[in-house]
């Protein structure tokens, strides 16, 4: 497996995000349009793509939320590659990158209809926090944070 650091112009990242959005449209149902408005990928500077045998199998990104905080965005592992620890590797690489850029914590939002994502973040040391920003008061959202060193 090979992890590369890139940006949102990477064609494999764009393709994986299309797969992610198709999955979320099914999971989120009527709520999809609300969430989708916050999921644009234009101008994301910090993207990780994972390759297995030269095939892109997973991705994730970080985007500045404030001067101390990066927000984890667009985490996805292809269906055929799940259960192999790829998402944890992506998350670890994103946290490492955020640390290198002098950020102190990572935050993220995921939906209650994504139990695999919730389990991933909890397993990797993320703690549930009050919903932030545009997710404040949204009952179908769960927000997490992790202090990084």
Asked if residues 115 and 92 have their Cβ atoms less than 8 Å apart, the reply is no
pLDDT of residue 52: 96
Task: Pinpoint the alpha helices (H) of 32-145.
Answer: 32-36, 86-100, 115-123
Residue 12 DSSP SS3? helix
Instruction: Identify the pLDDT of residue 21.
Output: 87
- With 0.85 as the threshold, say if the pTM is over it: yes
In tens digits, the chain (149 residues) has pLDDT values of 999 999 999 999 999 999 998 888 776 666 656 655 566 777 899 999 999 999 999 999 999 999 999 999 999 999 999 999 999 999 999 999 999 999 999 999 999 989 999 999 999 999 999 999 999 999 999 999 999 97
Q: Catalogue all structural domains in the chain, each as residue range(s) with its CATH number.
A: 2-147 (3.40.630.30)
Neighbours of 125 (CB within 10 A): 13
Closest CA to 70 of 109, 122, 107: 107
- Which letter does DSSP use for residue 67 in this model? T
What does R_g of the chain's alpha carbons equal in angstroms?
14
Neighbouring C-beta atoms of residue 70, cutoff 10 Å: 25
- Compute CA distances 102 → 30, 64, 142, whole Å: 38, 11, 26
Note the pLDDT of residue 59: 98
């Amino acid at each position: 497996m090979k992890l590369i650091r890139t940006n949102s112009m990477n064609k494999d990242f764009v393709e994986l995000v299309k797969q992610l959005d198709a999955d979320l449209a099914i999971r989120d149902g009527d709520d999809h349009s609300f969430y989708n408005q916050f999921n644009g990928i234009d101008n994301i500077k910090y993207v990780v793509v994972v390759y297995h045998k030269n095939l892109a199998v997973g991705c994730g990104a970080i985007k500045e939320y404030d001067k101390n905080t990066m927000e984890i965005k667009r985490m996805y592992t292809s269906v055929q590659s799940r259960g192999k620890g790829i998402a944890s590797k992506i998350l670890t690489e994103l946290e490492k990158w955020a640390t290198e850029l002098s950020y102190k914590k990572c935050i993220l939002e995921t939906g209650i209809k994504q139990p695999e994502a919730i389990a991933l973040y909890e397993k990797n040391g993320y703690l549930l926090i009050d919903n932030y920003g545009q997710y404040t008061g949204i009952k179908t959202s769960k927000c997490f944070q992790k202090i990084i060193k």
